């Protein structure tokens, strides 16, 4: 594949440094460069058809935006949008994260908070649909592998948005809403155990465990596939919680 020559791009809006910055910024937000991945000046300069100087200058600007971290004597590493508080995400960053253009943003949303709220509602509507379709609330058994596979496939489709919302700089309301949904579904699982004084603690442990597994999986740079995670969680539920 031929290298992308940034110098041949017709644009007077940005300096060469500015165009390099915009290109790298878009690549980070689109997921081309993964979290914790090292950005190498020479390789990027060669790819974009520029010298190392504008790349180095673009790195400084990316660091100011919180998208990369420059470690002295080591290099530049992607931190990504998950290193920023959700409330500090710009319209441009959120639009890139949700894969829409800015025109669509202003057509459908009043501001960043409105878009976040609507994205959250859409995610939970789809999540509820998966649970309602594959796991009956009145069935006192652990989640089937088919349910877990659908859940992790859903999370994979929306990985960028969910990771930003559930991560350490995310939206606590989103995390609590997710926990409440998991708790609601686990209530039926633990119904038969409610006479046991330990029932409420087991449920709390399971809720935190489920959301913790999701957060850990989303944060991994080379995360296992949804199929592999469905197998992992099935084994945990069957063996770890004694729900044979």
93 located within any domain: no
CATH number of the domain residue 27 falls in: 1.10.10.10
**What pTM does this model have?**
0.55
53 and 142 belong to one structural domain: no
92 located within any domain: no
147 and 216 belong to one structural domain: yes
152 located within any domain: yes
39 located within any domain: yes
pLDDT tens for 230-240 read 998 888 877 75
131 and 233 belong to one structural domain: yes
Secondary structure, 3-state, the chain: CCCCCHHHCCCCCCCHHHHHHHHHHHHHHHCCCCCCCEECHHHHHHHHCCCHHHHHHHHHHHHHCCCEEEECCCEEEECCHHHCCHHHCCHHHHHHHHCCCHHHHHHHCCCHHHHHHHHHHHHHHHHHHHHHHHCCCCCCCCCCHHHHHHHHHHHHHCHHHHHHHHCCCCCHHHHHHHHHHHHHHHHHHCHHHCCCCCHHHHHHHHHHHHHHHHHHHHHCCCCCCHHHHHHHHHHHHHHHCCCC
Which of residues 49, 79, 109 is at a domain's end?
A: 79
What's the structural domain count of the chain?
Answer: 2
The parent domain of residue 126 ranges over: 98-240
> Residue range 147-164: average pLDDT?
85
50 located within any domain: yes
pLDDT tens for 57-108 read 999 988 877 778 888 888 899 876 554 555 556 656 666 656 666 666 667 7
Query: Of residues 95 and 2, which shows the higher confidence score?
Result: 95
146 and 231 belong to one structural domain: yes
Express as a percent the part of the chain with pLDDT over 70.
66
87 located within any domain: no
pLDDT tens for 192-212 read 455 456 667 777 777 888 888
143 and 178 belong to one structural domain: yes
């Amino acid at each position: 594949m031929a290298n992308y020559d940034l110098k041949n791009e017709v644009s007077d809006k940005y300096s060469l440094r500015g165009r390099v910055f915009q290109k790298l910024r878009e690549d980070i937000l689109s997921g081309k460069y993964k979290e914790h991945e090292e950005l190498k000046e020479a390789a990027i300069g060669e790819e974009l058809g520029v010298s190392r100087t504008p790349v180095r200058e673009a790195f400084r600007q990316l660091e100011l935006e919180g998208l990369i971290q420059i470690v002295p004597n080591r290099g530049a590493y992607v931190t990504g949008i998950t290193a920023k508080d959700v409330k500090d995400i710009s319209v441009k960053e959120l639009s890139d994260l949700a894969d829409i253009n800015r025109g669509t943003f202003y057509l459908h949303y009043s501001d960043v908070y409105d878009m976040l709220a609507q994205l959250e509602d859409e995610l939970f509507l789809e999540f509820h649909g998966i649970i309602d379709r594959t796991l009956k609330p009145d069935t006192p058994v652990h989640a089937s592998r088919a349910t877990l596979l659908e859940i992790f496939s859903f999370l994979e489709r929306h990985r960028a948005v969910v990771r930003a919302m559930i991560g350490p700089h995310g939206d606590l309301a989103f995390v609590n809403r997710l926990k409440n949904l998991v708790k609601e579904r686990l209530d039926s699982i633990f119904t038969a155990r409610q006479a046991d004084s330990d029932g409420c603690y087991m449920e709390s442990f399971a809720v935190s465990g489920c959301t913790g597994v999701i957060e850990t999986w989303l944060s991994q740079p080379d995360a296992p596939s949804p199929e592999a995670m469905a197998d992992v969680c099935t084994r945990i539920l069957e063996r770890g919680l004694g729900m044979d």
